[in-house]
A and B are shown apart, each in its own frame.
Chain A
């Protein structure tokens, strides 16, 4: 019986893992994620160095991801979900870009999609992403099997477009004015409302005890009514200097453009 349960749980876990089409966030964090193995080690390092450098100077994050398959997903959908799952770009500024590449295989077309975060839609509109990056820099090179060239020159144009929009030093914003109006005001309010007022009005009224309101408050108090925690994504931990600290939790609204060959 126990075995059965264990195997059922294992099955569920396996299904859950397989159902997850979108690759996990890389750990340690990397800008260039060659999951399809289409780049050489040197190429990955060269591209990574440039993108990390760009992140350190502008805080704009450009992640390059190659995947062997899209698992039947629409390229834009896949790129957007990956963009948000990894949190490319800084939180609040949403200045991230994901360049998603799927190689051409025997029967399937090659696909590329550039997902542009909310914060960069102004400098990289869809038409520009499509014309200047995908159509002009990338697809002609991909057609000649020059994957690195397409990604390299494509991201170079993206960097040119995005540079100047954000700087690295403005992204440290504190997010903890959570507790704001403290308990004090509340205590005062209730003291006045439920204790002072009834006392002043004479105690015969038994305003505050018995009745149906007390059990309600009591119940609420006991349950603690869970504090709403910050549901934000794993904060802002990328920082300047040295290597790449990690993605910052940027969001996207589905901007960008793609193409196939």
Chain B
């Protein structure tokens, strides 16, 4: 009778220790996963911010450079495409991320073509409104680079956590999955630059 009580107490103790360690690792994995999701929405925000600048930019350029209808139309179209791709962070996988990246880099290159074209219009380049928009656009490109880097850092920290022993066991049990990264892409990292 006594013996079974000791066994019970030992088991209870082990359970308590087990519980607290499981709780800690599980919770840390959850908060890191949430961190990745939050960082993803930051990424989408800065891309959205860029998309929001474009109507204003297009209107300003239109006033000075009415011969550049084609370039402007390309920007508008690329913007529409880019804003139509939205990804739920829960369903962030390699394919959807690639789709997202393609749409966004289409917009990047349309914008950089526009920026090349406006070089021909000194009046436009002296326009204060245009200069402000240009500064905002540059700032947004910087933000995109920063948020993408932070997303990769968050995803990397999370991936490291769920793959390290012993948390990998729990990650398996509770179904924590590896997150994907942004990959550096032609021109997507850099602000649109003027090149001849």
Contact = CB atoms under 8 A, between A and B. Distances in A.
Given A186-B20, A208-B11, A219-B166, A255 B143 contact: yes
A218 B14 contact: yes
B76 to A, nearest CB: 22
A253 to B, nearest CB: 5
A200 B35 CA distance: 42
Interface stretch (A55-63, A102-110, A188-196): A188-196
A183 B17 CA distance: 9
Q: How large is the interface on B (under 10, 10 to 19, 20 to 34, 35 or more residues)?
A: 35 or more
Interface string B96-130: 00000000000000000000000000000000100
B19 interface: yes
A169 interface: no
Q: Which of B20, B25, B145, B166 is most buried by chain A, counting CB atoms within 10 A of its CB?
A: B20
A126 interface: yes
A183 B20 contact: yes
A180 B11 CA distance: 25
B135 A80 contact: no
Interface string B144-173: 111100000000000000000111011000
Contacts of A187: 12, 16, 19
A99 interface: no
B28 interface: yes
B15 A183 contact: no
Nearest to B144: A254
A93 interface: no
Interface string A223-238: 1111110000000000
Contacts of B136: 125-127
B84 to A, nearest CB: 25
B80 interface: no
Contacts of B187: none
B7 interface: yes
Contact of A254 (B128, B146, B169): B146
A227 B21 CA distance: 8
B146 A218 contact: no
B138 interface: yes
Nearest to A208: B11
B93 to A, nearest CB: 26
A221 interface: yes
Contacts of A224: 21
B24 A228 contact: yes
A228 B29 CA distance: 10
B22 interface: yes
A83 to B, nearest CB: 10
A187 B167 CA distance: 22
B139 interface: yes
Contacts of B142: 76-77, 80, 254-256
B73 interface: no
A91 interface: no
A131 B135 contact: yes
Instruction: List the 7 closest A-B pairs by CB distance, nearest first.
Output: A126-B139, A254-B146, A217-B18, A130-B135, A221-B17, A228-B28, A127-B132
Interface of A: 74, 76-77, 80, 125-127, 129-131, 183, 186-187, 189-191, 194-195, 208-209, 214, 216-221, 223-228, 252-257
Interface of B: 7-8, 11-12, 14-25, 27-28, 31, 42, 46, 128, 131-133, 135-136, 138-140, 142-147, 165-167, 169-170, 190
15 contacts: A74-B190, A125-B139, A126-B140, A129-B135, A130-B139, A186-B20, A186-B23, A187-B12, A190-B15, A190-B16, A194-B12, A209-B11, A220-B18, A220-B170, A253-B147
